Structure 1
Amino acid sequence: MASSERTIMAIKAYQNQAEQLVKDYLLADPFIPYTSILSGLFACKMVYDLTQLISTFYFKSYAGLTKIQRIEWNNRSMSTVHAFFIAALSLYFVFWSDLFSDHRLAGLVTFRSSPLSTFGLGVSVGYFLADIGMIFWLYPSLGGIEYIVHHSLSAIAVAYAMMSGEGQLYTYMVLISEVTTPEINMRWYLDTAGMKRSSAYLINGIVIFFGWLVARVLLFVYMFYHVYLHYDQVKQMHIFGFFLVFMVPAVLGIMNLMWFGKIIKGLKKTLTKRQ
């Protein structure tokens, strides 16, 4: 047997073992809540350390930052990776997957879940726990009380949907808003690198404006409209889940509107300076 064929067979064997491991443990129903949260925590630690390592060698400005700025640099990289992961998964489940479709699956939409949807939420819980821990540890350097409120409510709602299987559709709808996180983090990176007057900073601000409008304002309106259309199913949820479906998006929506006002003021200020 040629060496290339043996290599291919070895790769396939390892692939089959990996798939079996994922099926038997990571996505096995009894273990999903634990393996997913641990996976989220591990991923956060790995991204934080890799960012620190890569930035030390490839970004000259990194060495000139203060200790707290380097920590925030690494922390924002961690949140960016989580945002890409959970936003992509949320868009898939909300708009493309059959899991929460009204017409393709039987049963109440508010009680539907899958091993993958539950695992994704668990990874997000792991991230929120890691980030809240860092915020408390360095309070208020990484964020004030508004960040604690935002992350705490998000963690509670996501954890409940993960553990109970209730309201996962609405949880993923809200998590689509994480699509704006990379742009917010990029704005901080540009500011820290002294590029506040660059064209990239202006373009980033415009992207934030439109992204925030769609993902954190209009999408929340759509979510509440969906709840209204499916209220007969929503009211069959456990009282705590029913409460979370209305309370958490409402509070986060108000916070999003307040931050949106600041974004508009900041964008106006930037455009005025360029005239």
Structure 2
Amino acid sequence: MDLPLMAAKAYQYKAELLVKDYLLADSYVPYASVLGGILMCKLAFDFTRFISSFYFKGYASLTKMQKIEWNNRGMSTVHAIFITLMSTYLVFFSGLFSDQQDGPVTFRSSSLSNFTLGVSVGYFITDLAMILWLYPSLGGVEYIIHHILSLTAVTYAMLSGEGQLYTYMSLISETTTPGINLRWFLDVAGMKRSKRYVVNGVAMFVTWLIARIILFMYLFYQIFLHYDQVKQMDTFGYLLVSVAPAVLFVMNMIWFSKILRGLRKTLAKRH
């Protein structure tokens, strides 16, 4: 084995050891993951600005506020991709919440699941801070309510280890975020009449229907199925599981109706 390959293997081993012994050590998970989430947001924000300034000619002509929102949406897209992939894996493929496992599903967690939630906490803290600082340019009251509710639920699940299954099922709904952001990008780029805009509208409708309507119905079914275990949770956790998904579902339905009206209007114009 040549020296460069040996050096690469050594660095890989050290990195894996660092993650295992420190970042994923139970006592360090909340702090390392939240800081990691905030750092991820900063890097994604700056990377979006860097890439856009080189590959999108119209970026320089955007207003200062448009540039901030452009970069913010790039940041939220990175988080959405990360949390969707991790949530899907943990809920459906990891076996962590499988009925084959012993013990109540409402009290199951792992170092990886806690770390993933911490990254999401870091994102919600960063994005909520930006929304409040620049209010109402990055979003109105509904965004503040959504972020506070999400931040509270995700933080509680991370720190207590309770109800993580339902938290991750809710977080899968972030799969709709890239499509929403892309629609804003196309609009700002002057491509509202393009075929891409229509395709994006249809994709938004389908993903929203699956991830924020049908999946939430499945979430309610899971809560009902394990309700005897849900009742064993701490009072605050029990209230979060009972209230947070219901409030988010109502908000999802309101936004879904707006998406449907927008899609009808776009298809009518194309026709």
TM-score over 0.5 for the pair: yes
Q: What secondary structure is seen at the aligned counterpart in 2 of 1:204? A: helix
Q: What secondary structure is seen at the aligned counterpart in 1 of 2:2? A: helix
Deviation at 1:25, TM superposition (A): 1.0
| Map of 1:189 onto structure 2 | 185
Amino acid at match of 1:8: L
Q: How is 1:237-248 mapped onto 2 (pairs within 5 angstroms)?
A: 237-248=233-244
Deviation at 1:57, TM superposition (A): 1.8
Amino acid at match of 2:4: T
Amino acid at match of 1:26: L
Q: Distance in 2 between matches of 1:53 and 1:265?
A: 35
| Map of 1:218 onto structure 2 | 214
Q: How is 1:67-146 mapped onto 2 (pairs within 5 angstroms)?
A: 67-103=64-100, 105-146=101-142
Check if 1:166 corresponds to 2:162. Answer: yes
Output the TM-score relative to the length of structure 1.
0.97
Deviation at 1:50, TM superposition (A): 1.3
Instruction: Give the CA RMSD over aligned residues.
Output: 0.7
Identity, % of aligned pairs? 64
Deviation at 1:93, TM superposition (A): 1.1
Output the TM-score relative to the length of structure 2.
0.99
Q: Distance in 1 between matches of 2:264 and 2:7?
A: 59
Q: Which runs of 4+ in 1 moved over 3 A?
A: none
Which consecutive unaligned segments of at least 5 residues does structure 1 have?
Answer: none
Amino acid at match of 1:148: I
Q: What secondary structure is seen at the aligned counterpart in 2 of 1:196? A: coil
Deviation at 1:170, TM superposition (A): 0.4
Q: Distance in 2 between matches of 1:183 and 1:50?
A: 19
Q: Distance in 1 between matches of 2:195 and 2:235?
A: 50
Deviation at 1:81, TM superposition (A): 0.3
Q: Distance in 1 between matches of 2:227 and 2:182?
A: 39
Q: Distance in 2 between matches of 1:230 and 1:93?
A: 18
Check if 1:60 corresponds to 2:57. Answer: yes
| Map of 1:46 onto structure 2 | 43
Q: How is 1:28-39 mapped onto 2 (pairs within 5 angstroms)?
A: 28-39=25-36
CA deviations 1:68-117 (Å, max 9, x no partner) are 000000000000000000001111111111100001x1111100000000
Q: Distance in 2 between matches of 1:217 and 1:56?
A: 37
